[in-house]
């Protein structure tokens, strides 16, 4: 991975130069990980427009940092930001960019009071780089999704009347870890019966009942990459309205996925799915965006909502997750993780989307 990280830092250095800064101080840990491979709870990276980068971390991670990034000079200091700001001044950098979406107002005031450099806020430069994934990243995401599919198949026989939402959530999480996940990628959602009307319901003590729709939203974390999948199943033969809503959401998802091509406006992809739900008179029952990017974070760019701008590109992984939520009755959401490709999206989660009647 050393070569990969070096190539990423080179691309960032070019962006830094283009923003009229001498160097960028990267403080978001997920961005430091992307640029170095170091996964830690305290680190920062100085990336000059020209010349090699410098990594700072504390004594707990110094050994790991030497192993993971042997090519980088490493400053061992608890105050990683301060240490690298001083280093930037010592190396003759005058305009030091910082990640304004990460540094707090308080921290900035302290840095500015002591620094011998001019601090200049820079935007989401590393996030911009992270948008398009390389095939190495997509392979990790593909495995995260395969684990998620396998866990769902393994737990299906346990999903029945009398089992609590919490028990289903724990079974899914345990299965993902058994199949190789580092841990769940986010807090799993299991929403049964009327709870299904709450998009982000926390699984509780409610027992599944015959006649319920049950929505499960979960995913595995593998190699730092986050899978995200939702399936809604029926406990016992579904009522006509339940089948209708399920078919509607399924059709909307197909429309959304079909529109997810390189060059497509994210707004238009959202709209392709949303129009299907609107046409059926349920527009108000779909209160969130169609999906989001996934990668080293569970929610990252591009966000796909009717009010979001931007275009999809080749090798951008996204989710497509339309839902219809009917207060007091229940809901349906169907979500896949997929990668935008020139020949049409590559589905990474492959569990069936036929309505499963358990």
* CA–CA separation, 95 and 17 (whole Å): 11
What DSSP string runs through 293-352? E-SSSSSEEEEE-TT---B--TT-EEEE--EEEETTTEEEE-BEEEE--TTS-EES----
Q: Segment near Zn ion (CB under 5 A), from 36-44, 99-107, 235-243, 334-342?
A: 334-342
For residues 277 to 316, the per-residue mask of contacts with Zn ion, x marking binding by CB under 5 A and - elsewhere, is ----------------------------------------
Per the CB < 8 A criterion, the answer to whether 233 and 159 are in contact is yes
| Cβ-based nearer residue to Zn ion, 77 or 270 | 270
Question: Least distance (Å) from Zn ion to the CB of residue 200?
Answer: 9
Question: Least distance (Å) from Zn ion to the CB of residue 253?
Answer: 12
Label residue 245 exposed, middle or buried (CB < 10 Å: 0-12, 13-18, 19+): buried
| Cβ-based nearer residue to Zn ion, 12 or 30 | 30
Please count the residues of this chain forming the interface with Zn ion, following the rule CB under 5 A: 5
Per the structure block, which two tokens stand in for 279?
Answer: 């046409």
Q: Segment near Zn ion (CB under 5 A), from 115-123, 217-225, 236-244, 337-345?
A: 217-225
Sign of CA dihedral 133, 136, 137, 143: positive
| Cβ-based nearer residue to Zn ion, 125 or 181 | 181
Decide: is 336 part of the binding site for Zn ion (CB under 5 A): no
For residues 4 to 43, the per-residue mask of contacts with Zn ion, x marking binding by CB under 5 A and - elsewhere, is ----------------------------------------
| Cβ-based nearer residue to Zn ion, 217 or 297 | 217
Exactly one of 228, 297, 300, 336 binds Zn ion (CB under 5 A); which one? 228
| Cβ-based nearer residue to Zn ion, 40 or 230 | 230
Question: Least distance (Å) from Zn ion to the CB of residue 293?
Answer: 10
Label residue 313 exposed, middle or buried (CB < 10 Å: 0-12, 13-18, 19+): middle
**Type and span of the H or E element at 112:** helix 105-114
Exactly one of 77, 165, 217, 336 binds Zn ion (CB under 5 A); which one? 217
List the alpha helices (DSSP H) in 260-298. Answer: 266-279
* CA–CA separation, 26 and 49 (whole Å): 13
* CA–CA separation, 242 and 136 (whole Å): 40
* CA–CA separation, 127 and 147 (whole Å): 26
Q: Is the peptide bond before 358 cis (omega within 30 degrees of 0)?
A: no
Question: Least distance (Å) from Zn ion to the CB of residue 292?
Answer: 6
Exactly one of 192, 319, 349, 351 binds Zn ion (CB under 5 A); which one? 319
Question: Least distance (Å) from Zn ion to the CB of residue 290?
Answer: 10
Mapping DSSP to helix (H, G, I), strand (E, B) and coil, where does residue 159 land? coil
Interacting residue ranges for Zn ion, rule: CB under 5 A: 217, 228, 230, 319, 335
């Amino acid at each position: 991975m050393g070569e990969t990280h070096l190539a990423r830092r080179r691309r960032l250095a070019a962006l830094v130069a283009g923003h009229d800064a001498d160097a960028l101080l990267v403080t978001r840990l997920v961005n430091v990980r992307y640029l170095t491979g170091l996964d830690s709870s305290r680190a920062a990276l100085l990336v000059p427009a020209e010349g090699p980068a410098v990594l700072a971390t504390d004594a707990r991670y110094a050994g790991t940092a030497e192993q993971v990034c042997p090519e980088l000079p490493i400053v061992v200091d608890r105050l990683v930001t301060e240490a690298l700001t001083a280093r930037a001044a010592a190396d003759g950098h005058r305009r030091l960019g910082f990640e304004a979406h990460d540094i707090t107002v308080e921290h900035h005031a302290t840095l500015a009071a002591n620094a011998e450099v001019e601090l200049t806020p820079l935007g989401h430069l590393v996030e911009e780089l992270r948008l398009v994934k390389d095939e190495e990243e997509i392979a990790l995401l593909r495995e995260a999704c395969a684990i998620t599919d396998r866990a769902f198949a393994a737990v299906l026989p346990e999903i029945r009347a009398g089992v609590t939402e919490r028990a289903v959530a724990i079974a899914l999480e345990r299965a993902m870890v058994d199949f190789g996940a580092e841990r769940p990628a986010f807090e799993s959602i299991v929403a049964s019966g009327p709870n299904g009307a709450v998009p982000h319901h926390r699984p509780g003590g409610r027992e599944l009942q015959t006649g319920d729709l049950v929505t499960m939203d979960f995913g595995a974390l593998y190699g730092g990459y986050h899978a995200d999948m939702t399936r809604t199943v029926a406990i016992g033969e579904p009522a006509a309205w339940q089948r209708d809503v399920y078919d509607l959401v399924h059709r909307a998802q197909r429309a959304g996925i079909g529109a997810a091509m390189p060059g497509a406006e994210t707004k238009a992809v959202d709209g392709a799915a949303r129009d299907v739900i609107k046409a059926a008179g349920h527009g108000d029952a779909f209160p969130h965006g169609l999906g989001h990017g996934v990668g080293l974070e569970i929610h990252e760019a591009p966000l796909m909502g009717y009010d979001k701008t931007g275009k999809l590109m080749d090798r951008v992984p996204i989710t497509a997750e339309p839902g219809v939520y009917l207060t007091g009755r229940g809901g349906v959401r169907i979500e896949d993780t997929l990668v935008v490709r020139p020949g049409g999206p590559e589905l990474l989660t492959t569990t069936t989307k036929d309505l499963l009647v358990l």
